[in-house]
Amino acid sequence: MISTIVSLRIEVASLTNYKVSNSDALNAMHQEFMHYKKEADSLRLENKKLKEALTITAEKEQLRVKDIFGRGTERLSDLLSRSDCDEIVDEAEIESETIIDFNTAVISSKRNGKHKPPHGVRSKNTESMKVDLDSLPQRSRFLLDNDEFNEKYGKGGWRIAYWRKKRTVECPQITTYCLNTYTPVISVGLEHRLVSVPNPSILPGSFVSASFLAYIEYSRLYMSLPFYRLSESFNHMGLNISRQTLTNWFIRFSETHFSLIYNKFHEMLMKIPYHQCDETFIRVNKDGRSAGTPSFMWVHRTSELFPCHPIILFCFELTRGTDHLRKFYGDFEGFITCDAYCAYRVLEKENADVIMICGCAMHLRRRFSESLALIDIRNLSEEVINCLPETIALKMIGKIYDAYSFFIVFNKPEIVKSRTL
């Protein structure tokens, strides 16, 4: 009996020790489980944030690419009916489908009696060439040698039946020459006082002429040719002139003559109460700062509400600050239509009751169109699409434009009156 009790006590003690060790193991496993669960929750949260950040970055990149390469369209109908542009297309398959056997195409067309260009080859449009040639100045020449025809056919044995005309485009090379202009020096009176007749120059102290400078301005501003190419072109003509000299003439003429026109336009612009303004960044290589530092080009123009010929002024600035607006507008009184850039609001606060900033409806509309362009509407029904906030806003703005287009036929004062109703 005693031995049984002892064995039972030993068994109970072992079971108790097993229970304690098992409980300790369960506690350790529970703590380890909670630790891993906490890590998993933090990883899920981090993954969710990374996905949101990736989505935002992808949308920003899509908008950035659209801004760089241009927007195809912002019309609501085109945004809603756009095709799936994110689909991956195998370019090799496209190339294999559009390969043309030119030899086969030409031979088959010859068999039909008519030589037609193969599919994919652009044929000449003689009508468009005719229109283009008609827009050019016309000169005529007649190739006729009477002595040659008399010798070949005999005198009196031939006559002109009609004239056959062939049209060619002539492009004579620009003629550059040195013009020597002589002005007399007059001896006046018994004292033989010498008087020189003035010889006006477009840029005093230089040998540039008005025609030469006009060609430089045209090539640089309209044809966008850099000065080093112009310098090389003149060198081929025999005129050794550096691009530094060309740049100096360009800047001097702009500061001397164009500044007068700019100041006059600015004076006229300040008398008009309706303005439109915008700015964009531009990169300049050499402006006293490191290469690639963004500068800004401001544009100021008259509004469509004012019945006058439009005045458009461009201003280059190193920064985008409000100092340019303060300097440009000065004592201006009126309305400025612009975007939501904060510098315009600062100008309005500094000139309260004098300058009123008006928002641009196109900038407002663009935000909704960009937001709608980022929504995947392929699997959405028409009812769901029409209930989207972006679609509702774009339709409301479209109604405003439709109502405004009715007043376009009226004169400017009536448009102003319609906007105040």
Quote the pLDDT of residue 102. Answer: 37
Average the pLDDT over each of 109-113, 148-152, 213-217, 323-327 and give the range with the smallest value: 109-113
Distance CA 109, CA 123 (A): 14
211 Cβ contact partners less than 8 Å away, ≥ 6 residues apart: none
Distance CA 260, CA 291 (A): 31
Write out pLDDT tens, residues 79-90. 666 554 444 333
Q: Is the pLDDT of residue 386 over 80?
A: yes
Half-sphere exposure of 349 (CA within 13 A, CB side): 6
Assessment of whether the complete model's pTM goes beyond 0.95: no
Distance CA 30, CA 210 (A): 92
Mean pLDDT (the chain, rounded): 80
Half-sphere exposure of 398 (CA within 13 A, CB side): 12
Quote the pLDDT of residue 107. Answer: 36
Are the beta carbons of 339 and 362 closer than 8 angstroms?
no
DSSP-assigned beta bridge partners for residue 289: none
Quickly list DSSP for 337-387: EE-S-HHHHHHHHHTTTTEEEEE-HHHHHHHHHHHHHTS--TTS-HHHHHT
Structure tokens at 23: 């409980």
Structure tokens at 47: 């993954």
Amino acid at 392: I
Burial of 396 (0-12, 13-18, 19+ CB in 10 A): exposed
Quote the pLDDT of residue 146. Answer: 85
Range list of H helices, 237-360: 243-253, 259-269, 323-329, 342-350
3-state secondary structure of 356: strand
- The pLDDT confidence band at residue 402, using thresholds 50, 70 and 90, is confident
Half-sphere exposure of 47 (CA within 13 A, CB side): 6
Tallying the residues shown for the chain, one arrives at 421
Distance CA 394, CA 79 (A): 11
Distance CA 77, CA 378 (A): 14
- The pLDDT confidence band at residue 1, using thresholds 50, 70 and 90, is confident
Average the pLDDT over each of 45-49, 168-172, 250-254 and give the range with the smallest value: 168-172
Write out pLDDT tens, residues 22-66. 888 888 888 889 989 999 999 999 999 999 888 888 878 877 777
Q: Is the pLDDT of residue 71 over 60?
A: no
Structure tokens at 166: 């062939």
Are the beta carbons of 407 and 414 closer than 8 angstroms?
yes
Query: What is the DSSP pairing of strand 312-317 with strand 294-302?
Result: antiparallel
Quote the pLDDT of residue 194. Answer: 85
Segment holding 334, helix H or strand E? strand 334-338
Write out pLDDT tens, residues 312-342. 999 999 888 899 999 999 989 999 999 889 9
Mean pLDDT of 128-151: 77
Q: What percent of the chain has pLDDT over 70?
A: 80
Quote the pLDDT of residue 23. Answer: 84
Burial of 329 (0-12, 13-18, 19+ CB in 10 A): buried
Write out pLDDT tens, residues 177-215. 888 888 888 888 888 888 887 888 888 888 899 999 999
Segment holding 173, helix H or strand E? none
Of the candidates 48, 53, 74, 83, the residue with the CA atom closest to the CA atom of residue 371: 74
Q: Is the pLDDT of residue 154 over 60?
A: yes
Mean pLDDT of 143-147: 85
The Cα-based distances of 13 to 4, 27, 315 in angstroms read 14, 21, 95
Distance CA 72, CA 83 (A): 12
Quote the pLDDT of residue 298. Answer: 95
Mean pLDDT of 391-402: 87
More confident: 165 or 418: 165
- The pLDDT confidence band at residue 98, using thresholds 50, 70 and 90, is very low
Per DSSP, 256 falls in state I
DSSP-assigned beta bridge partners for residue 276: 301, 337
Considering Cα of 73, then 76, then 77, then 80, what sign does the dihedral take? positive
Q: Is the pLDDT of residue 128 over 50?
A: no
Of the candidates 245, 240, 211, 210, the residue with the CA atom closest to the CA atom of residue 227: 245
Distance CA 241, CA 232 (A): 8
Average the pLDDT over each of 30-39, 103-112, 130-139 and give the range with the smallest value: 103-112
